[in-house]
Amino acid sequence: MSTPLSLAFDPVPAPDASAEAAVQSALTQNPRGLSFGRLAGIGAWVAGRQGEAPPRPLGTVRVVVFAASHGIAQRGVSAFTPDASAVQAQEIQSGAAPVCALARNAGASVRLIDVNVDAPSGPIDVDDAMSPDEFERAAQLGKSAADHEIDSGSDLIVLGDLGVGNTTVAAAVMGTFTFTEPAVAVGRGSGINDEVWKTKVAAVRDAMFRVRDQREDVLEVLRRISAPDFVALTAFIAQCAVRRTPVLIDGAYTAVAAYTAERLAPGTKEWLLAGQLSPEPCHMVCLQALDLTPVAALDMSTGQATGGAATLPLVKAAVDLVRDEMRAQASQQADNQAASGDPVL
């Protein structure tokens, strides 16, 4: 008899609707506020998650990247060879990776979490991704990592992933949960050609077939055809929502993990902001299911949280813009009251 899986979360609290509404109301009172477009909405969204109107500046932002090696990469489903996962992880550690440059530009720090870079997960087309014990360890890692970042004072977390073959995993999980055909769920990932794409579709098809009778058992599907880092990401996202900490997600892998987190901890999606839209079909499907509109459509497939880090300056700018406008309105209102002789409350 297999060991029962567990991954439970406390109830996810709702954001502060009154703070969000206060910002939206203030910005519709004059033409300048109306002219801010989607930046106004982003600023109001942050205010609702902070419970403050106007929102406070995003002072401490952390980019967190979960790194892993996937056994399915041995099938040749990527333009990168399997050993590229370790190489890219080392680039992040040394500060030379693309996400490091973007994080520096945005005033954020980067943390790499090595889930299983040196121990590839099972090839999901023919074998389980992980054992029950490995599943439990990955889930606890994700929760603990979230608690650590939140306890360290992060105002916003930009979340990313690293691992050759991860879009294959994402397509298999998303296809299973949404009854999407493999050929529709699978994209070009790292920029693969037609022949590699066919190999990738076959791998996703075989993985989905292996769990055809477990579609309603979310945890068992994850154990069998996701990966330890995917489980950790899912737990991380849900725990951040439980603890009222907003998360800016990046590409397809984090989007599918966010979709899964919402299934396990309803209300999680209210704490998520989508950084960018990549070309992966499963990315768009998950963002639509979560009712998230990406900050930008950058078509980036770099991974490593690069899409989220690239849009972070816009998110910060939106908060600062909204904050300054609301403070200017308050100052003008005070001046008008003083000039009229009315008491300033």
Q: From the centroid of its chain, how far is CA 222?
A: 17
Alpha helices in the chain, H assignment, sequence order? 17-27, 31-34, 38-50, 84-94, 98-106, 132-151, 166-178, 182-185, 194-210, 218-225, 228-242, 252-264, 281-289, 306-340
Q: Give tens-digit pLDDT for 243-252.
A: 999 999 999 9
Q: Using the predicted structure, report yes or no on whether residue 1 has a pLDDT greater than 50.
A: no
Q: Does this model's pTM top 0.85?
A: yes
Q: Which two tokens stand for residue 45?
A: 């969204």
- Residue ranges per domain, the chain? 58-315
Burial class (CB in 10 A: 0-12, 13-18, 19+), 194: exposed
Burial class (CB in 10 A: 0-12, 13-18, 19+), 183: middle
Q: Which two tokens stand for residue 302?
A: 């770099």
Over residues 152-181, mean pLDDT: 95
Of the listed ranges 87-101, 130-144, 182-196, 242-256, the least confidently predicted one is 182-196
Q: Which residues contact 3 (CB under 8 A, 6 or more apart)?
A: 132, 133
Domain 58-315 has CATH 3.40.50.10210: yes
